[in-house]
Amino acid sequence: MNSSKEIDMSNAVIKAHNISKKYDDSYALDGIDLQVMQGQIMGLIGPNGAGKSTFLQSVLGLLKTEGTLEVLGLDPRKDRHKLLKEVCSITDVAVLPKWMTVIQLLNYMDGVHPGFSIEKCIDILSRTNIKLPSKIKVLSRGMVVQLHLSIVMAIDAKVLILDEPTLGLDLVYRKDFYSQLIEDYYEGNKTILISTHQVEEIEGVLSDAVFMNQGRIVMQDSIESINRKYLELRPDQNSVDAAQSLNPMHHRTELGREVMLFEDVDKDKLMELGDVRPPVIADLFMAIMETTKVGGQS
């Protein structure tokens, strides 16, 4: 949905260089180098323990890391509260204060956040089942996420950080969340950084993908480039050997049929051997994990 042509590549919103974070004897982040440009919708994809949340928390200035990190030209750790006027986040679905009513929370946001529009938020909420006098503790998990997203959408921020925003929600709420995010929130100049396990649900939303494992980035590319570079072939039965001779980077069996993943191989050549399509991100991720032999589960 976003082509990299629309992205202003001269304008890095997040610049991370050699970011590391050590807990006891293990690295949660191990030398992360990443630049996020204005307008990108970047997905951080990786198994548990990959370092996604740790990285996002460091971008929000919530934890100390080694290395150089700049967000909108500011040091997130030193200028956290200045930065958070321009960066908003949903880092966990269960953190809105349960004792508050919805309207109390909106009034509080109106008081402390210069970029928050209470009128806009009330307008967004009027399209949901969330009532302003309701206590947050009586809302369902899905409604709390909806409320959190409505608050975030009513903030005129440059960067949005979403860390597993739909974790624990049912399918309907998950679909609603992303469609609302893209249709009502996203504008070309906003940057969104999303981490999730449910890769298939954000795939159509992303402009870029970053694969992480064991605190490292194992691959980073735009979706457009991934679709150009990687192709998945389901070879005809009599073309399997011919396909193997083209050195697939990964192969698996799906319902008794060989599925091969190729990198930088001529599409026309592959089309002669069977069905060709761009790989889904989850499959590409699994393949990259296995080829880089760093292990992990998805």
Binding interface with another protein (CB under 8 A): 23, 28, 48-54, 57, 60, 62-64, 80-85, 88-89, 91-92, 94-100, 104, 107-114, 164, 195
Q: How far is the CB of 26 from another protein (least distance, A)?
A: 9
Q: How far is the CB of 95 from another protein (least distance, A)?
A: 4
Closer to another protein by Cβ: residue 112 or 271: 112
**Of 15, 18, 40, 39, nearest to 29 (Cα)?**
18
What span, in angstroms and rounded, lies between the C-alpha atoms of 233 and 242? Answer: 12
Residues 155 and 115: beta-carbon distance below 8 Å? yes
Q: How far is the CB of 23 from another protein (least distance, A)?
A: 6
Q: Is 284 left (phi over 0), alpha (psi -120 to 50) or beta?
A: alpha
Closer to another protein by Cβ: residue 85 or 229: 85
Q: How far is the CB of 76 from another protein (least distance, A)?
A: 12
Closer to another protein by Cβ: residue 26 or 126: 26
Closer to another protein by Cβ: residue 93 or 270: 93
**DSSP string across the chain:** ---GGGSEEEEEEEEEEEEEEEETTEEEEEEEEEEEEET-EEEEE--TTSSHHHHHHHHTTSS--EEEEEETTB-TTTTHHHHTTTEEEE--TT-S-TTSBHHHHHHHHHHH-TTB-HHHHHHHHTTSS--TTSBGGGS-HHHHHHHHHHHHHTB--SEEEEESTTTT--HHHHHHHHHHIIIII--TT-EEEEE-S-HHHHTTT-SEEEEEETTEEEEEEEHHHHHHHEEEEEE-GGGHHHHHTT--SEEEEETTEEEEEEES--HHHHHTTEEEEPPPHHHHHHHHHHHHT-----
Q: How far is the CB of 160 from another protein (least distance, A)?
A: 11
Q: How far is the CB of 131 from another protein (least distance, A)?
A: 18
Closer to another protein by Cβ: residue 91 or 292: 91
Q: How far is the CB of 144 from another protein (least distance, A)?
A: 11
Q: How far is the CB of 251 from another protein (least distance, A)?
A: 30
Closer to another protein by Cβ: residue 131 or 197: 197
Closer to another protein by Cβ: residue 163 or 283: 163
Closer to another protein by Cβ: residue 113 or 216: 113
